[in-house]
Structure 1
Amino acid sequence: MSIDYGRFDRGRGMNYWQYDPVLQHEVERTYPGDRGWAEERFDEFGAIVGTTVAPNSDTIDEHGPELRQYDRHGRLVNDIEYHPAQLENEELVYGAGIVADSFRAPPDRDDPASMLHHLTMDYLLAYADVGLTCPVAMTAGVALVLERFDHGSDGSLSEFFDRLTAREYDDLLQGAMFLTERQGGSDVGATETVAERTDDGWELTGEKWFCSNVDSGAILTLARTPDAPDGTEGLSLFLVPGTTSNGERDGAFVRRLKDKLGTVSVPTGEVEFRGAEAHLVGELESGFRYMSEMLNLERIANAFASCGLIGRALLESKVRAANREAFGSTIDRYPLMRRDLVEMAVAHEAATAFTFDAGRAFDRYHRGDEDAFALMRLLVPIAKSRTGRMAVDVASYAMEIHGGNGYVNDFVTNRLLRDAQVLPIWEGTSNILSLDVLRALAREDAHEPALALTRDRLDGIEHDDLADLVATTRDELDGLQEALVTLATEEEEYAQLHAKELAEYVFDVYTAALLLSEADGELAAGNRRKGLVARQFVTDAFGRSAARGITSGDALSLDGFEEIVRFA
Structure 2
Amino acid sequence: MPQTHEVTNQVPPHHGYDAAADPALLEALAREGAGRAAPELHRLGVLAGSEQAAEWGRLANENEPVLRTHDRYGHRIDEVEFHPYWHELMHTAVSHGLHAAPWAQDEPGAHVARAAKFIVWSQVEAGHTCPVSMTYAAVPALRAAPALAEWLEPLLASRTYDFGLRRPDTKRGLIAGMSMTEKQGGSDVRANTTTAVPAGDGTYRLTGHKWFTSAPMSDVFLTLAQAPGGLSCFLLPRVLPDGTRNRLLLQRLKDKLGNRSNASSEIEYDGAFGWLVGEEGRGVATIIEMVNTTRLDCVLGGASGMRLGLIRAVHHATHRRAFGKALVDQPLMRNVLADLALESEAATAVAMRLAGATDRVARGDSDEALLRRLGLAVTKYWVCKRAPGHAAEALECLGGNGYVEDSGMPRLYREAPLSSIWEGSGNVAALDSLRAMARQPETVEAFFAEVGRAAGADRHLDAAVAGLHKQLADPAGAEYRARQLTETMALVLQASLLLRHAPAAVSDAFCASRLGGEHGGAYGTLPTGVDTGAVLARAATATV
- TM-score, normalised to structure 2, is 0.90
The residue number in structure 2 matching 1:527 is none
Is 1:486 the counterpart of 2:460 in the alignment? no
What is the deviation of 1:545? Answer: 5.9
The residue number in structure 2 matching 1:78 is 78
Q: Please say if residues 309 and 390 of structure 2, whose CA atoms lie closer than 8 Å, have aligned partners that are also in contact.
A: yes
Counterparts of 1:138 and 1:363, CA distance in 2 = 17
Counterparts of 1:295 and 1:515, CA distance in 2 = 27
The residue number in structure 2 matching 1:48 is 47
The residue number in structure 2 matching 1:159 is 151
The residue number in structure 1 matching 2:218 is 216
The residue number in structure 2 matching 1:555 is 529
What is the deviation of 1:367? Answer: 2.0
Identify if the C-alpha distance between structure 1 residues 63 and 246 changes in structure 2 by more than 3 Å, giving closer, same or farther.
Answer: farther
Identify if the C-alpha distance between structure 1 residues 158 and 559 changes in structure 2 by more than 3 Å, giving closer, same or farther.
Answer: closer
Counterparts of 2:526 and 2:313, CA distance in 1 = 28
Question: Which residues of 2 match residues 250-289 of structure 1 at below 5 A?
Answer: 250-289=246-285
Identify if the C-alpha distance between structure 1 residues 559 and 241 changes in structure 2 by more than 3 Å, giving closer, same or farther.
Answer: closer
Structure 2 unaligned blocks of 5 or more: 1-8, 163-171
User: C-alpha deviations, 1:10-59, integer Å up to 9, x for none?
Assistant: 433322112x1111111122135xx22x1122122222323243320111
Identify if the C-alpha distance between structure 1 residues 247 and 392 changes in structure 2 by more than 3 Å, giving closer, same or farther.
Answer: farther
Counterparts of 1:281 and 1:84, CA distance in 2 = 34
Is 1:341 the counterpart of 2:337 in the alignment? yes
Identify if the C-alpha distance between structure 1 residues 515 and 392 changes in structure 2 by more than 3 Å, giving closer, same or farther.
Answer: same
Q: Please say if residues 231 and 283 of structure 2, whose CA atoms lie closer than 8 Å, have aligned partners that are also in contact.
A: yes
Counterparts of 1:327 and 1:245, CA distance in 2 = 69
SS of alignment partner, residue 420 of structure 2: coil
SS of alignment partner, residue 250 of structure 1: coil
SS of alignment partner, residue 197 of structure 2: strand
- Of the structure 1 ranges 281-290 and 473-482, higher mean CA displacement relative to structure 2 is found in 281-290
What is the deviation of 1:290? Answer: 1.3
What is the deviation of 1:406? Answer: 1.4
Counterparts of 1:359 and 1:325, CA distance in 2 = 40
Question: Which residues of 2 match residues 72-111 of structure 1 at below 5 A?
Answer: 72-105=72-105, 111=107
What is the deviation of 1:140? Answer: 1.1
User: C-alpha deviations, 1:341-361, integer Å up to 9, x for none?
Assistant: 000000001111122222222
Q: Please say if residues 11 and 312 of structure 1, whose CA atoms lie closer than 8 Å, have aligned partners that are also in contact.
A: no
Identify if the C-alpha distance between structure 1 residues 424 and 551 changes in structure 2 by more than 3 Å, giving closer, same or farther.
Answer: closer
Counterparts of 2:15 and 2:78, CA distance in 1 = 35
Counterparts of 2:32 and 2:358, CA distance in 1 = 12
What is the deviation of 1:100? Answer: 4.9
Q: Please say if residues 132 and 266 of structure 1, whose CA atoms lie closer than 8 Å, have aligned partners that are also in contact.
A: yes
Counterparts of 1:544 and 1:58, CA distance in 2 = 40
Identity fraction in percent: 32
Is 1:439 the counterpart of 2:435 in the alignment? yes
The residue number in structure 2 matching 1:523 is none
Q: Please say if residues 533 and 564 of structure 1, whose CA atoms lie closer than 8 Å, have aligned partners that are also in contact.
A: no
Counterparts of 1:7 and 1:366, CA distance in 2 = 49
The residue number in structure 1 matching 2:192 is 191
The residue number in structure 2 matching 1:13 is 16
Counterparts of 1:212 and 1:80, CA distance in 2 = 11
- Of the structure 1 ranges 448-457 and 263-272, higher mean CA displacement relative to structure 2 is found in 448-457
The residue number in structure 2 matching 1:531 is 504
The residue number in structure 1 matching 2:145 is 150
SS of alignment partner, residue 455 of structure 2: helix
Letter of the 1:533 counterpart: V
Counterparts of 2:221 and 2:387, CA distance in 1 = 28
Counterparts of 1:535 and 1:403, CA distance in 2 = 30
Two-structure CA RMSD over aligned residues (Å): 2.7
The residue number in structure 2 matching 1:203 is 205
Identify if the C-alpha distance between structure 1 residues 145 and 333 changes in structure 2 by more than 3 Å, giving closer, same or farther.
Answer: same
Identify if the C-alpha distance between structure 1 residues 567 and 56 changes in structure 2 by more than 3 Å, giving closer, same or farther.
Answer: closer
What is the deviation of 1:245? Answer: 12
The residue number in structure 2 matching 1:464 is none
Identify if the C-alpha distance between structure 1 residues 546 and 64 changes in structure 2 by more than 3 Å, giving closer, same or farther.
Answer: closer
What is the deviation of 1:282? Answer: 2.1
Counterparts of 1:65 and 1:142, CA distance in 2 = 24
SS of alignment partner, residue 332 of structure 1: helix
Identify if the C-alpha distance between structure 1 residues 486 and 392 changes in structure 2 by more than 3 Å, giving closer, same or farther.
Answer: same
Counterparts of 2:10 and 2:359, CA distance in 1 = 38
Q: Please say if residues 458 and 516 of structure 1, whose CA atoms lie closer than 8 Å, have aligned partners that are also in contact.
A: no
Is 1:31 the counterpart of 2:26 in the alignment? no
Question: Which residues of 2 match residues 490-505 of structure 1 at below 5 A?
Answer: 490=476, 494-505=477-488
Q: Please say if residues 104 and 111 of structure 1, whose CA atoms lie closer than 8 Å, have aligned partners that are also in contact.
A: no
Q: Please say if residues 65 and 261 of structure 2, whose CA atoms lie closer than 8 Å, have aligned partners that are also in contact.
A: yes
Q: Please say if residues 247 and 273 of structure 2, whose CA atoms lie closer than 8 Å, have aligned partners that are also in contact.
A: yes
Letter of the 1:262 counterpart: G
Question: Which residues of 2 match residues 507-546 of structure 1 at below 5 A?
Answer: 507-519=490-502, 530-544=503-517
User: C-alpha deviations, 1:428-483, integer Å up to 9, x for none?
Assistant: 11100010000111111121111122223225x5xxxxxxxx12221211111001
SS of alignment partner, residue 177 of structure 1: strand
What is the deviation of 1:553? Answer: 7.9
2:137 to 132, 135, 141: 141
1:453 to 447, 450, 455: 450
SS of alignment partner, residue 74 of structure 2: coil
SS of alignment partner, residue 236 of structure 1: strand
Q: Please say if residues 519 and 527 of structure 2, whose CA atoms lie closer than 8 Å, have aligned partners that are also in contact.
A: no
The residue number in structure 2 matching 1:474 is 462
Question: Which residues of 2 match residues 355-370 of structure 1 at below 5 A?
Answer: 355-370=351-366
- TM-score, normalised to structure 1, is 0.86
Counterparts of 1:44 and 1:407, CA distance in 2 = 31
Structure 1 unaligned blocks of 5 or more: 1-5, 229-233, 462-469, 520-529
What is the deviation of 1:507? Answer: 1.3
Is 1:241 the counterpart of 2:237 in the alignment? yes
The residue number in structure 2 matching 1:314 is 310
